[in-house]
């Protein structure tokens, strides 16, 4: 239960920090897609690094990169 609470707080803090960027004031929908999703990924990788170690986090990071490439290919088509 403690790990879930920490994930919630860290993820919320990182998303809030990215969302408060003034460049997002005019394009709210674009802001959610471009800024908030990567900030959640970075928060997740940071927590995974603390909980699981570097090798597991590297695998998760590569998986996120592969997923982003697949999403880009899908959106391009």
Please report, for the chain, the start and end positions of each structural domain, with discontinuous segments joined by +: 2-76
pLDDT at 67 over 70: yes
Compute the mean pLDDT over every residue in the chain, rounded to the nearest whole number: 77
pLDDT score, position 41: 78
pLDDT at 23 over 90: no
- Tens-digit pLDDT profile for residues 31-50: 565 656 676 777 788 888 88
Query: How confident is residue 77, by pLDDT bands cut at 50, 70 and 90?
Result: confident
Would the pTM of this model clear 0.95, i.e. be above it?
Answer: no
Backbone angles phi, psi at 12, to 5 degrees: -65, -40
Eight-state DSSP code of residue 20: T
């Amino acid at each position: 239960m403690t790990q879930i609470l920490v994930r919630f707080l860290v993820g919320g803090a990182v998303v809030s920090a990215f969302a408060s960027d003034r460049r997002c004031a005019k394009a709210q929908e674009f802001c959610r897609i471009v800024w908030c999703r990567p900030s959640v990924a970075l928060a997740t990788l940071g927590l995974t690094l603390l909980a699981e170690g570097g090798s597991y986090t590297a695998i998760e990071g590569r998986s996120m990169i592969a997923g982003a490439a697949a999403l880009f290919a899908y959106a391009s088509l």
